[in-house]
Structure 1
Amino acid sequence: MSKNASTRDSRFAQLIGLELKAEFARKEISQGDVADKLGHSRSGYSRWLNAKPSMPLEAFLNTCELIGADPRAIMDAAYERLTQEMGRPRDLSPTTPDDADVALASAVDDSMVPDMSGWSADEQAAYVAAHLDQFDIAAKKGDLEREQTEYEDLP
């Protein structure tokens, strides 16, 4: 795992805790009372809220249900804050094909498939649909012998 991924996931866990604490304040509920009602020690629950270590999903869900908070809203708010602070990860950022990819896609020798890792699913699907001749490998249909034969026949 890259250092950046580790930093992002740690920060996300912290932001989840901050969002829960904000929800406690809005609802005028103490985190100690929540810990007691869930059967956790106050100190252990406090460590979870501070992401040292991060809160297990079961405890997160139980907390949200106990205080009447939507877990999706808590996650969404924490992720929004994460992307504001750290930006979107490269592999999730919406991108459009660059000039090199467009040139590859329209090249006379269309045996080369461009790197579509940065493309959205819709862009990838559109490319595949427009270039079916580049994707003529046998689809899995449960006939392993046929698939093996097709594989062996590949150049």
Structure 2
Amino acid sequence: MNSRQRAEEFTRFVGLELKGAITARGYKATQVATEINRSPAAFNRWLNGKVEIPMTVLCEACEFIDVDPKAIVEIAYDRVAVAYGERNGSKYEAEEVAETLEPVSQINAAFPKHLSAVPDSVAAYKNDGTHLEFEGRD
């Protein structure tokens, strides 16, 4: 995977993480889009990773739902590293991922208001026997 492909996946993960944060905070995507004066259709495309989300939109949405945009970006980049390996090509084994990237606990720490279960829009991991792969859900 080249750096452009990694960057495209990263921006997709940013949208998915924001989508999960919106859900975890009890909002609907259309509500957030309306509040930040964005088209609900365009906002939905950004959240689902169909097109790259502008940083201004990320910031506006995060401020509206009261989430630090840095948390969204950090978790999204961690997902890139787990799914595709580090920039140097090294991959994570299942045990390493459990220790270094605990998605549910990271999400709970980033969005503490209420999160009884990880929403469907937040990514899940599976073990294929060699390494963990990212399995995105819309």
Q: TM-score, normalised by structure 2?
A: 0.61
Query: 1:31: Cα distance to partner?
Result: 0.5
Task: Report the Cα distance in structure 2 between the residues aligned to 1:84 and 1:27, rounded to whole angstroms.
Answer: 25
State the partner residue of 2:76.
78
1:55 is aligned to 2:67: no
Deviation digits for residues 12-56 of structure 1 (CA, Å, limit 9, x no counterpart): 011111111111121110000000011111101111112222011
Task: Report the Cα distance in structure 2 between the residues aligned to 1:38 and 1:59, rounded to whole angstroms.
Answer: 8
Task: Report the Cα distance in structure 1 between the residues aligned to 2:33 and 2:23, rounded to whole angstroms.
Answer: 15
List aligned pairs for 1:4-153, cutoff 5 A: 4-90=2-88
The letter of the residue matching 1:81 is: R
The letter of the residue matching 1:9 is: A
The answer on whether the counterparts of 2:16 and 2:49 sit within 8 Å (CA) in structure 1 is no
Task: Report the Cα distance in structure 1 between the residues aligned to 2:50 and 2:23, rounded to whole angstroms.
Answer: 21
**Number of aligned pairs?**
90
> Which of structure 1's runs of 4+ aligned residues deviate more than 3 A?
none
Q: Which has the higher strand share?
A: 2
- Gapped regions of structure 1 (runs ≥ 5): 94-155
Task: Report the Cα distance in structure 1 between the residues aligned to 2:87 and 2:55, rounded to whole angstroms.
Answer: 22
Q: TM-score, normalised by structure 1?
A: 0.55
The answer on whether the counterparts of 2:22 and 2:29 sit within 8 Å (CA) in structure 1 is yes
Query: 1:90: Cα distance to partner?
Result: 2.2
State the partner residue of 1:132.
none
Q: SS at 1:13's partner residue?
A: helix
Percent of aligned positions that are identical: 32
Q: Which has the higher helix share?
A: 1
